[in-house]
Amino acid sequence: PLAMYVWSARREAVQRLIEGTSSGGVCVNHCMLHYVHSGLPFGGVNQSGQGNSHGHFGFKAFSHERAVLHAGWFMAARTMFPPYTPAKARLQRGVVNVLRRL
């Protein structure tokens, strides 16, 4: 598959899933965040995989880098998901205000 999304507070269970499966990438306690992270490889394996077969890129394609992202319990991106509380709304407005100043 292209990606695997795991929601769990049990680190051992998450690690067992990561080690026991094959996927293009893994995102723990979040979804799609690994796709927008420019420092992580994104691509699938088997029918979801694609790549080149010559030189350095061939080596990279056949070596399979696997992105694993663990979203912490306190993460600004969590404000994107329900339940939407007044505290989340304040945090979202604060992030937007900071980004506007950049």
Q: Give me the percent of the chain exceeding a pLDDT of 70.
A: 77
Contact 50, 43 (CB under 8 A): yes
- Give this prediction's pTM: 0.51
Distance (Å) of CA 33 to CA 38, 58, 96: 10, 27, 18
Measured in whole angstroms, the distance separating CA 87 from the mean position of its chain's CA atoms is 25
What tens digit of pLDDT does each residue of 25-57 get?
889 998 878 777 766 777 767 666 665 445 565
How far apart CA 26 and CA 67 sit, in angstroms, is 6
Is the model more confident about 38 or about 71? 71
Q: Which helix (H) or strand (E) holds 16?
A: helix 11-20
The reported pLDDT for the residue numbered 57 is: 56
Is the model more confident about 52 or about 74? 74
Q: Would you say residue 102 has pLDDT above 90?
A: no
